[in-house]
Structure 1
Amino acid sequence: MSLPHLGVVLVTFNSTGVIRECLESLLASVGVRLSIVVVDNASTDGTPDLLRKWARGDSDADIDGLPFVLKPTAKPVTLHRTASIEESDHSIALLETGSNLGFAGGVNYGIAALAELDSCDRFWVLNPDCVSPPGTASAFAIEPGPPEGFSIMGGRVLYLDRPDMIQIDGGTVTRWSGITNNLALFASHADTPPSNPAQMDFITGASMVISRTFYETVGPMREDYFLYYEEVDWALRRDDLPLAYCPDGVVYHEGGSAIGSATHNRPAAPFALYFKHRARMMFMRRFFPNRLISAHIWTLAKAGQLAGKGYRNEAAALLAGAFGRKPPLHVAHRLPDELWQNILESKDFRTKEDT
């Protein structure tokens, strides 16, 4: 009996500190064949070169202290140039985009490559700062979901440094502000039953499984968000295809490794705040345009709260993103000038399809 097949997309940008551990955990997956594509968004820290060294066996992953036992895969490991499937093993392809396409652009690039494989009906989008226990990939591959099929399937995301603490178990959106909420946030993994997908608005982009039916019906992710809200937007366009939940689809997420997202013990970095609230207002214009005023009131209140706690750079970045302004200098230096130009061309948060 042949093993189930699952495609995996990892979008990397300056991911040298996490990508080897992520790949080692995926290669240790049992009961499934994985076609893994690493889509590198023009990293400047040598991520592709490090991957090649790791694949040759010249650079080791740091797997000590993980919440589960992991044995490194024997090297060398082949890095293919296109998505592929092996008869009895996992495969890895390294796809270099040559430019920073953003999260959605990288995901679309990877899924398009995997969609060329006829046997690949599910595409697991996973953050490179995640590690997965050996049974997670198989669980995602065989979980039946609703009888009518599903759009996006999620599982449980736990904090890597607090392995019994839930980061997200599916998410909801507050309609008057556009703020997203993590179900079961900070709850105990051991004491918390699985969440009900009928109560979710979206599945986190840190670990989400896309069905081929959804991908071919709805199309790829919108890329103009660049970072944040792409998966929320995608989920709200699912029409009659429901969300699904895999109880054994557990991953551990380091969080904030590349862009400075919030963790359980610190606020998000200015870079993350700028893009998150830029994207939030784009999202509100598309889905809840009659609630923009209340969304802006939330913006002002949150910026005041951050400034009052001494996070002045964070408050400035939040305001600039939400109101369509150029990013502060301490944010802008993170990306090339030409990329900022492309991003700011849509400063009023509108695209052709919105006007």
Structure 2
Amino acid sequence: MPDQRPAIGVVIVTYRSADVIGACLASLRAIDDVALHVVVVDNASPDDTLAAIRIAVPDLKPASQAGSEGVALIEAGANGGFAAGVNLGLARLAANPALDRFWLLNPDCTVPRDTPRRLATHDPGPKGAAMIAHRVVYGDEPGRIQIDGGVIDRRTGVTHNLNQFAPAHCPAPDPAQIDFVTGASLVATRAFLERAGPMAEDYFLYYEEVDWALRRGDLPITFCEGAVVHHMAGTAIGSQRMGSVASPFSQYFKHRARAIFLRRHFPSGLIGGAAWSLAKAAQLLGQGHRAEAAALLRGFFGMAPPRAVLAALSPEARQKIGR
């Protein structure tokens, strides 16, 4: 008898994810009403990430079986950045013609039981969809929303999270307001992949999904109400979390990516983007965050990373960003 379960492909890119990937995979492996085709792409993690994956998935499939149901592991061999890992996983999943939806999921996310089915069966309407947004809440405070989709300030390149910090029971946003879907948990359709192509890899970290969403043409972004993902933000690279300041590593790459994004899509916003960067750096300095302020400015204005940030990069990663 043919399998009647809906199917969805899942790409998880890991880097220094040993402390979180087990919980992520356990939440997915608890799902039995959706055929999950999971590809984990490891970007040459220097920690015990690979061991943690193998412990979490005793029946782990080799890279040659990536795209089939279950969990397969691809060892990228180098850290080419987030988009490079995503593109490697998507290429394997897209080779399976039975898959029409592709879910990018951060390794520091966990998934409630009903979310995969909601995402796999969501009806986008007669126009179809490029991406399917859904609610992402803070993993350490699931009663508060991290993002319901994002919007772009074209004058500065700064992005904003819809409904951030609002209670998790608040109404969903109007999908027409959404400019992009967070890369922490993003569902893309095959129609979108065929139109937009792979993610741009030169950002290295941040803004890849923002850039990608702007290549969707007339395909809309829809919102799947009831689908929720729990996200423990900032576990690998120090991204901003509730009540914290992003690390110098995160500051450098986020604002470097913002400058690349503005030059590519909204060059008239570079002046506003520079003014915003100077004001934000001044605010960080006033709060005593000297290293974070310096990293922000060096990133936006195209300078080399601070020494501590550069030291954290592999030779392959340095080559990727031209340093």
TM-score (norm 2): 0.97
Confirm whether residue 78 of structure 1 aligns to residue 56 of structure 2.
no
Confirm whether residue 177 of structure 1 aligns to residue 156 of structure 2.
yes
Q: Contact 1:30 / 1:135 at 8 angstroms: preserved in 2?
A: no
Q: How well do the aligned residues superpose, as a CA RMSD in angstroms?
A: 1.2
Hey, what's the Cα distance between the residues in 1 that align with 2:51 and 2:179?
38
Hey, what's the Cα distance between the residues in 1 that align with 2:68 and 2:318?
37
Return closer, same or farther for 1:338/1:38 CA change in 2, 3 Å cut-off. Answer: closer
Hey, what's the Cα distance between the residues in 2 that align with 1:189 and 1:95?
35
Hey, what's the Cα distance between the residues in 2 that align with 1:141 and 1:338?
36
Q: Could you tell me how far 1:237 is from its partner in structure 2? A: 1.2
Confirm whether residue 228 of structure 1 aligns to residue 186 of structure 2.
no
Confirm whether residue 32 of structure 1 aligns to residue 34 of structure 2.
yes
Confirm whether residue 117 of structure 1 aligns to residue 119 of structure 2.
no
Amino acid aligned to 1:6: I
**Which runs of no fewer than 5 residues in structure 2 stay unpaired?**
none
In the alignment, which residue of structure 2 is the partner of 1:266?
244
In the alignment, which residue of structure 1 is the partner of 2:24?
22
In the alignment, which residue of structure 1 is the partner of 2:115?
136
Secondary structure at the aligned position of 2:224 is classed as strand
Trace 1:1-355 onto structure 2 (pairs within 5 A).
2-56=4-58, 77-81=59-63, 82-86=65-69, 91-190=70-169, 192-344=170-322
Secondary structure at the aligned position of 2:57 is classed as helix
Q: Could you tell me how far 1:139 is from its partner in structure 2? A: 0.6
Hey, what's the Cα distance between the residues in 1 that align with 2:60 and 2:278?
51
Q: Could you tell me how far 1:281 is from its partner in structure 2? A: 0.5
Q: Contact 1:111 / 1:123 at 8 angstroms: preserved in 2?
A: yes
Hey, what's the Cα distance between the residues in 2 that align with 1:310 and 1:84?
48
Secondary structure at the aligned position of 2:160 is classed as strand
Amino acid aligned to 1:152: M
In the alignment, which residue of structure 2 is the partner of 1:59?
none
Q: Contact 2:57 / 2:71 at 8 angstroms: preserved in 1?
A: no
Q: Could you tell me how far 1:132 is from its partner in structure 2? A: 0.4
Hey, what's the Cα distance between the residues in 2 that align with 1:231 and 1:47?
24
Q: Could you tell me how far 1:46 is from its partner in structure 2? A: 2.2
Q: Contact 1:30 / 1:138 at 8 angstroms: preserved in 2?
A: no
Hey, what's the Cα distance between the residues in 2 that align with 1:31 and 1:50?
25
Secondary structure at the aligned position of 1:79 is classed as coil
- How many residue pairs match? The answer is 320
Q: Contact 2:79 / 2:316 at 8 angstroms: preserved in 1?
A: no
Hey, what's the Cα distance between the residues in 1 that align with 2:167 and 2:160?
17
Amino acid aligned to 1:11: V
Q: Contact 1:157 / 1:169 at 8 angstroms: preserved in 2?
A: yes
Return closer, same or farther for 1:260/1:344 CA change in 2, 3 Å cut-off. Answer: same
Q: Could you tell me how far 1:338 is from its partner in structure 2? A: 4.2
Q: Could you tell me how far 1:332 is from its partner in structure 2? A: 1.0
Hey, what's the Cα distance between the residues in 2 that align with 1:226 and 1:94?
21
Amino acid aligned to 1:26: L
How big is each residue's C-alpha offset from its partner over 1:135-189, in whole Å with a ceiling of 9 and x where there is no partner? 1111100001131111111100000111100000000011111100000000001
Hey, what's the Cα distance between the residues in 1 that align with 2:6 and 2:45?
32
Hey, what's the Cα distance between the residues in 1 that align with 2:193 and 2:78?
24
